[in-house]
């Protein structure tokens, strides 16, 4: 059936979903949870229409400037640099950070020819020099590419007289920031160097 097969194909594009899972999801929705399928259509449609990029931090936002960037009670002197909106969300949920964010467009990848410019490095430098920032916390992943990103951005920021720190090594080396438990992340924030 064409419509069923197309639904299975679409579900396979979700991260972590293989052909068997996609098939199971499609049959489940059509047989047992058509209301859930409607809810998913509505959720996707709304999110696509409403979730845009914050003009200040480049994270997700439903307004031109996101709730964090609009929050005047935060520490203007702190700027955390993360790889993605998901990493920003997990750092925020750790409850240990009261500064502002800058969300990169991923990490540098020398093998793919993706350098600091391709992930928003220039916008980061402009933002970091935009008055009041006394410390830039590089919260990129502790993978090879995340470390390379932190190194390259760190050098560029330091050469402009900015103070640069990195999350403490409490974060297990080789892991993705998004999957770190919140306690470890809180320690890593406290011990930043």
Give Rg (Cα) of the chain: 20
Q: Which is nearer to its own copies, 39 or 55 (CB)?
A: 39
With contact defined as beta carbons under 8 Å apart, do 169 and 141 qualify? no
- 38 binds its own copies per the rule CB under 8 A: yes
Q: Tokens standing for 154?
A: 């760190």
Q: Tokens standing for 77?
A: 């002197």
Choose the stretch contacting its own copies; rule: CB under 8 A; options: 43-51, 127-135, 160-168, 185-193: 43-51
> Quick check: helix, strand or coil at residue 119?
helix
Q: Which is nearer to its own copies, 31 or 159 (CB)?
A: 31
Q: Which is nearer to its own copies, 21 or 96 (CB)?
A: 21
**Torsion angles phi and psi, residue 133, rounded to 5:** -75, 120
Choose the stretch contacting its own copies; rule: CB under 8 A; options: 22-30, 115-123, 151-159, 182-190: 22-30
Q: Of the candidates 173, 156, 166, 159, which has an alpha carbon nearest to the alpha carbon of residue 191?
A: 166
With contact defined as beta carbons under 8 Å apart, do 140 and 103 qualify? no
DSSP 109: B
In angstroms, what is the minimal distance from the CB of 52 to its own copies?
A: 9
Please select the residue that binds its own copies; options are 6, 55, 70, 163, rule is CB under 8 A: 6
- The residue ranges that bind its own copies (CB under 8 A) are 1-4, 6-7, 9-11, 13-16, 20-21, 23-31, 33-34, 36-51, 60-62, 67, 84-86, 89, 178-179
């Amino acid at each position: 059936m064409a419509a069923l097969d197309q639904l299975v194909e679409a579900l396979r594009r979700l991260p972590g979903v293989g052909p068997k899972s996609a098939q199971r999801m499609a049959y489940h929705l059509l047989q047992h949870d058509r209301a859930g399928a409607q809810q998913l259509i509505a959720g996707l449609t709304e999110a696509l229409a409403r979730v845009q990029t914050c003009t200040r931090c480049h994270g997700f936002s439903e307004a031109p400037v996101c709730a964090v960037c609009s929050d005047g009670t935060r520490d203007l002197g702190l700027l955390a640099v993360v790889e993605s909106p998901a990493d920003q969300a997990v750092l925020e949920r750790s409850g240990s950070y009261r500064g502002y964010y800058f969300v990169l467009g991923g990490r540098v990848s020398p093998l793919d020819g993706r350098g600091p410019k391709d992930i928003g490095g220039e916008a980061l430098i402009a933002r970091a020099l935009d008055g009041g920032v006394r410390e830039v916390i590089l919260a990129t992943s502790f993978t090879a590419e995340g470390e390379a990103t932190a190194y390259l951005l760190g050098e560029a920021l330091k050469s402009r007289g900015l103070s640069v720190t990195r999350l403490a090594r409490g974060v297990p080396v080789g892991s993705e920031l998004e999957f770190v438990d919140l306690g470890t992340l809180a320690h890593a924030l406290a011990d930043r160097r």
